[in-house]
Amino acid sequence: MGRIISVVSGKGGTGKTTTCGAIGTALAMLGKFVLCIDADTEMRNLDISLGLESFSPPDLNAALRGEVPLADCIVKHPTIPRLSFIPAPYETDFPGGAELKRQLAESFDFVLIDAPAGIGRGFDAAIDGADGALVVATPDASSYRDAGRAVEKLCQAGVTAPRLIVNRIRPSVLRRWKATVDDAVDSVGARLIGVVPEDKDVILAANLGSPLMIYSSRGAAAAYERIARRLAGEKQPVGRLRYNF
């Protein structure tokens, strides 16, 4: 059975959905069978990050009611053969819980779940049954504080050893703040798995309907690839930040 990893953040605006889509794409391009699930029923933007905005499969709840096979709700990416996607259902929370996720994980190496921002009821539904979690934060004090709360909630739910991604880093801001990435680790209380620079290609790729990992191989894309390789078990340095402004 594959690993079930929830991608979470303590607040909105951290780039969590972009992170989920990019890491899922990178893992698939490394030869892993990957399923990305959009559990953010209010925002529902993971399809854009994956370049699948035009696909509209049956609602997941229809499968849970027995109206259609579960397989009909899974979109297979047209250009990335090992990448699949389930869009957010039309309900307040992600349905099915741990049992559904385990069922889906039987056919994939990785199941990545894009959780709603924050730590409310949707967060609880998205992390139910997860083997691990990636906590996405941006380099600012409020994001670190909220990410720390998310880590606490994960540990209380039995999702042990969450990993931290510090996203959208701008060196000028860190210098003026007199801060380092080590400060993020200390504030959030989670082990670092990667750092990702602010990168204009993230916006350009989304606006063009392209997965970031297809559109670019530098900047943020290179950082996400390193994170994916670490998740796949390869020894990778966190990496020097190479900025693309």
Q: 44-76: per-residue pLDDT in tens?
A: 999 999 999 999 899 888 888 889 999 999 999
Token pair in block for residue 86 = 């389930």
Phi, psi of 165 (to 5 degrees): -115, 120
Contact (Cβ atoms closer than 8 angstroms) between residue 65 and residue 100: no
Q: Does an H or E element contain 154, and which?
A: helix 141-156
Q: What is the rounded average pLDDT for all residues in the chain?
A: 91
The pLDDT of 88-98, averaged and rounded, is 77
- Domain residue spans of the chain: 3-231
Q: How confident is the model at residue 97 (pLDDT cuts 50, 70, 90)?
A: confident
The whole-number pLDDT of residue 176 equals 66
Question: Could you report the per-residue pLDDT of 138-177, keeping only the tens digit for each?
Answer: 998 899 999 999 999 999 999 989 999 999 998 766 666 6
| DSSP labels, 72-133 | GGPEEPSSSTTEEEEPPPSSSS--SHHHHHHHHHTT-SEEEEEPPSSSSHHHHHHHTT-SEE
Please state whether beta strands 34-38 and 191-197 pair in parallel, antiparallel, or not at all (unpaired).
unpaired
Question: Could you report the per-residue pLDDT of 163-221, keeping only the tens digit for each?
Answer: 999 999 987 666 666 667 788 889 999 999 999 999 999 999 999 999 999 999 999 99
Please tell me what DSSP assigns to residue 2.
Answer: -
Q: What is the pTM of this model?
A: 0.93
Question: Could you report the per-residue pLDDT of 115-128, keeping only the tens digit for each?
Answer: 999 999 899 999 99
The CATH architecture annotation of domain 3-231 reads 3-Layer(aba) Sandwich (3.40)
